[in-house]
A = this chain, B = another copy of it.
């Protein structure tokens, strides 16, 4: 067990999908175009690799419904590297006798290593070692090195290297009836003595993808010049060659890939660049060295080190946190800069949600803000570029402003499904998830969080303010004034809790006055109003003119901020939505006894011809999201400005109420609830934290991790350590801390940036220290609980907790 290595030993067919998802290699650039997901069983056959932003309309006529979906696109598979002993069949791990098997994902180095010892029918025993990387410094390159050692024989190996363009999307079982082939091959070619090229094009979006590979063979470190036979089939090109080996001697095969797409900048043409790059690439050891250097830099910026009472448990926890951080960096990294990339829900390799962008960035960007704020900026620009489509969507729905979609496709349009399959009942169910308009609050919230963490006024001026104002405008149009109540209401939406998409027996979908949505809107109105003072006057005037913002609109924003409705039921319990209090209590114990895992209660009840809409039962209790996103002080202000009471008891009371009525059907649920508890009940928080920590590694949802990682939950878990336990909050030019480590956690240390200044944070149970880098240009305002201190460059503040 190491805190930096994820190890699997031996075959476990039940775990293959999970292992594959967790051991995916990529980098911000490459992952989004050509990550290299792992094989099911050996180094020989691999599933394809992926390109996001490709776009395909899939049609399934199942149950008479049409599903239109944008899709992730498989990239041509470059990993194909087969071998066989002369006279034998190509090595196949599923039929060979495996003597030992070990697979390790080295998180610090971004390397996948494998070691297999096997024996063939004639008793020939061979050791196979491989290492592989997707380069973190050279965004277009990936490389693998395979070593073969005949342990008790001499003879001839035959080796085949190939690029396979016949890849399909088959990662998600229930999508398999949909169109799954998204590439057409344009050219296949052998280039020079050592390289192969395959160029393909996505069939709808017409993105060209060029992959060039170079394969070299070494014996005892010396390059071998071998005759090669090139074979081409449709969408496939391979080269075969033979190497003589003697017992104990190591034959090493290095395969290097260069990948370019037609979307790349500073290129002439994708195939030319890929070919030139791969021919020029250094050998595997040099590539690995520069790759490690880049990872080292990244870890230095981003790692959270901690110490626990129990060292062995600490090591495992640290490993899982490293794994999650690693996956964040696989998906978004400095290589994402200036790419047109959003944050996909399930990583780039996960085929569930087909690469669509949902609201997961709510859990990811606040984490990135403190380490790689330029990456956040780049991801927010992805949204900014789709502001026009969001405006069109709002207009089409009869509103002004911008309405971002729940599932955002390539050009920013709504790609949420309209029906989905309940595997439990086999029925196609209407899907109203597009009513989750709260994704618009996510975007506004993230713009603001980025601003608070960086004080990047330029970003606000040219992008952020426009997004916030247009989103505020949309909500101002969606909110309706109810004169009886003298309150504004938001009707016909869904909150993050997907169990409630309507009232039982109502004809129209949607629920009214979702507390989470309504309060986020109040917060947005506040920030939208603050922006007028925050932007330089001339810029503010320009933007107001360009958007045609009127004084009466601003007046309405201020009015909504004072008169939005929040519904309560019982004593001080915030209703998840209006009418929640009148729903029936659910028989949790009875159903748990009957079904065991009831996380997907919605499916269970639908299969029973019932509906979860009838019950006080949440997949994820979205009232609690408020306690996740806002501090108690902020909530007191928000409720206060609306004239509602919010006292010391409100938070614990609501937590306890909703936790009893939650199935935790979403991986995000563990994170949110654990975070919320971390501020009140430390021990309860710790239990949920360890659940959240395990959610992907142990695949607690039962089968969905192999469809892709849960990136939001992973980032949220890491961020719980970083911001939840530290009470870290950037607000109005001050960086606040309010640390409170769980009892089991003895010590926590990390590097961060705030407003472009590097800081080091060091927290123990009873001490809190923060060091401002001597390279800062100005003193920083640091808040410890309520006290604010000015910290000069080069100084360390030291507080007793």
Contacts and interface: CB of A to CB of B under 8 A. Distances in A.
Interface stretch (A41-49, A204-212, A718-726): A204-212
Contacts of A273: 411
A266 B411 contact: yes
A385 interface: yes
Contact of A538 (B338, B410, B462, B758): B758
Given A538-B758, A758-B536, A266 B412 contact: yes
Contact of A208 (B206, B293, B392): B206
Contact of A338 (B267, B293, B338, B374): B338
Contacts of A297: 542, 546
Interface string A373-389: 01000000110011011
A753 to B, nearest CB: 10
Interface in A270-328: 270, 273, 280, 293, 297
Interface in A774-797: 774-775
Range of interface residues on chain A? 35 or more
A279 to B, nearest CB: 12
A262 interface: yes
Interface string A344-377: 0000000000000000000000000000001000
Interface in A81-109: none
A267 B758 contact: no
Given A268-B410, A269-B204, A542-B297, A392 B756 contact: no
A763 to B, nearest CB: 21
A708 interface: no
A293 B547 CA distance: 11
A340 interface: yes
Contacts of A269: 55, 204-206
A706 interface: no
A266 B205 CA distance: 12
Contacts of A758: 536, 538
Contacts of A340: 265-266
A386 B542 CA distance: 35
A164 B537 CA distance: 47
A545 interface: yes
A126 to B, nearest CB: 39
Contact of A546 (B293, B411, B537): B293
A32 to B, nearest CB: 13
13 contacts: A137-B546, A204-B268, A205-B268, A206-B208, A207-B262, A262-B262, A262-B263, A266-B382, A266-B385, A266-B411, A293-B546, A297-B542, A538-B773
Given A293-B545, A536-B773, 16 more contacts: A137-B546, A206-B208, A206-B262, A206-B269, A262-B262, A265-B340, A266-B382, A266-B385, A266-B389, A266-B411, A268-B411, A268-B413, A338-B381, A458-B756, A536-B758, A539-B775
Interface of A: 55, 70, 137, 204-208, 262-263, 265-270, 273, 280, 293, 297, 338, 340, 374, 381-382, 385-386, 388-389, 392, 409-413, 457-458, 462, 536-539, 542, 545-546, 756, 758, 773-775
CB-based closest 4 A-B pairs: A536-B775, A265-B340, A266-B385, A268-B411
